[in-house]
Copies of this chain bind each other. A is one copy, B any other.
Amino acid sequence: MSTRSALPPGNRTACALGIPCRACSCELRLVPGGSKRGRINVAPGARVIVQGRSTRSIYTLYEGWAARYRTLPDGTHQILDILLPGDLIGLPAALQGGAGHSVRTLTAATFCVLDANRLTALLRRKPRLAFNMVRARVREQERADGWLTVLGRMGAGERIGYLLLELRDRLDERGLAKGRSWSLPLMRAELADTLGLSKVHVQRALRALRDKGLANLEGHRVIIPNSRNLARFSGYSRVHSTSK
């Protein structure tokens, strides 16, 4: 657990609820009537949210990586989003009594647990909090729009480049980017399920990217020699984090 980096204290931009944080990204104790329940540690591969089931808790990811995904009738998966420290988890499962997706950890992880009822009550009473959450949801939709475009219109190499650059920027916003080489705890199959490709073809596209000198993924270590080149190639452009 110590090798993975948790969200640095005091990071507001990454906080899913837009609330000033001290000890942790979801420090709801700072809010009157706060609803924090505590933290839980979870092994890699554990399912935190199960497709179709409702929950009485909402989570924020504090440390480690997770994936939000949908399982199809034929048993295949589509990963809808890679979740990083600071991300909010379980809003639909709590608000709508069941989500159309599951969430499972990709690494060992720590979650902050919030009481769903108390959070929704809080949302009703605190317009500022709800407003921040609307803004956060709008921003998430913009990100989803990007992925719709990627899956609808781009080839395998572009998809991989887009994913790598977006992950790097999201890590960077959270103060978790180390430089031009960083660790990506995703297996080939999980990359494939994210990108809408087969495992085999992900492999070939990775090799092509390496041959072109655009990106290098050996083992689980990412090296992007020139991110501007890769951005141009893959059509990625950073979306500014809504300041404040």
Contact = CB atoms under 8 A, between A and B. Distances in A.
Nearest to A79: B152
A145 B101 contact: yes
A92 B72 CA distance: 31
Copies of this chain, count = 2
A147 B148 contact: yes
Interface in A123-143: 123-128, 130-131, 133-135, 137-142
Nearest to A195: B152
B130 A134 contact: yes
B242 A96 contact: yes
Contact of A130 (B80, B99, B130, B140): B130
A91 interface: yes
Contacts of A212: none
Counting chain B CB atoms within 10 Å of each CB, the highest count among A140, A145, A239 belongs to A145
A144 interface: yes
Given A127-B123, A148-B148, A138 B76 contact: no
Given A149-B80, A196-B151, A141 B138 contact: no
A42 interface: no
Interface string A109-121: 0000000000010
Contact of A235 (B73, B145, B242): B73
Given A127-B125, A196-B151, A141 B137 contact: yes
A92 B239 CA distance: 12
Given A127-B125, A127-B127, A141-B141, A80 B148 contact: yes
Contacts of A131: 120, 123-124, 130
Nearest to A154: B72
Nearest to A148: B80
A33 interface: no
A99 B239 CA distance: 10
Contact of A148 (B130, B144, B153, B235): B144
Given A127-B130, A235-B73, A138 B96 contact: yes
Given A96-B139, A152-B196, 6 more contacts: A72-B153, A72-B235, A78-B148, A80-B148, A133-B134, A151-B196
